[in-house]
Structure 1
Amino acid sequence: MPFFCRYCLIFLATVLLLGGCYNKPVRNLASDVLLIKVGQSTGDDVLTYLGEPDEQKVIDKGGEQWLFREKTSTVMERTPVVGKYLGSPGIVEVIVTLKDNVVVDSRYEAHDADENDWTDDFSWQKGEK
């Protein structure tokens, strides 16, 4: 039996140590947006720095807007069961405007996910009296 336990412990240690080698790429919009230079960066540069956009919209001939969105939350907000009562997750958005594949504008916005919940607070908005 000790022989079997020894191999089980070696197997578990190997699995745990190899689990630490797993690396998921993380997109950090707050810092990556600083790499984009208006008038100099191209669409390929934006894809390199920020990755694939979450939404794309054609605004006029030769012009596009790319939206990059990222949800953020603190460690306390990710706590199981009580985390939803400890704050509101944030949303970070970067809107990049391209004209002929060159960046002409980039905007960074950050706000709480429930920032616009107040719009549903009043009965007169629902047509009730």
Structure 2
Amino acid sequence: MRRYLGILILLLGLAACTSGPGVNLASKACMVHKGLSTRQEVERYLGPPARVERLPDGREIWIYYHLQEDVLARIPGLGEKWGRKEVEVLRITFSGDRVVDCIYYVTRPSS
């Protein structure tokens, strides 16, 4: 039993080393400036949005998502109970061609 536990711990340690750095929306949000950044600049920084919402007053909201999960979340059977998942969300509102609002937050995915 101890042998299997040791192997499991070793595999978990190796799994932690395999994942590279992911998208960091928080640092990218810092490149977006209200009143200054344009649509073209935002698309160059962040790429195309995951979702676009158009408001009746003509404003447009671009939404970016990134799922972050720890090593335990990737293990079948264990991940649902002990793993941690978070979703980074970046909402950028445009009026015309300029950014008028930029909101970054982290939430838990709905089950």
Structures share fold, TM-score greater than 0.5: yes
Which residue matches 2:3? none
1:101 aligns with 2:97: yes
Which residue matches 2:55? 59
Which residue matches 1:6? none
Shift of 1:104: 0.4
Taking every aligned residue pair, what percent have the same amino acid on both sides?
27
Which residue matches 2:70? 74
Which residue matches 2:46? 50
Alpha-carbon contact 2:51-2:63 (below 8 Å) kept: yes
After TM superposition, the score normalised by the length of structure 2 is 0.72
Shift of 1:87: 3.1
Alpha-carbon contact 2:74-2:83 (below 8 Å) kept: no
- Runs of 4+ aligned residues of structure 1 deviating over 4 Å after TM superposition are none
Two-structure CA RMSD over aligned residues (Å)? 2.2
Q: 2:81 aligns with which of 78, 85, 92?
A: 85
Letter paired with 1:71: L
Which residue matches 1:111? 107
Letter paired with 1:34: C
RCO comparison, higher one (Cα < 8 Å, 6+): 2
Shift of 1:71: 0.9
Q: Distance in 2 between matches of 1:27 and 1:99?
A: 26
Unaligned runs of 5+ in 2: 1-19
Shift of 1:27: 3.0
Report the structure number with the largest CA radius of gyration. 1
Q: How many residues align?
A: 92
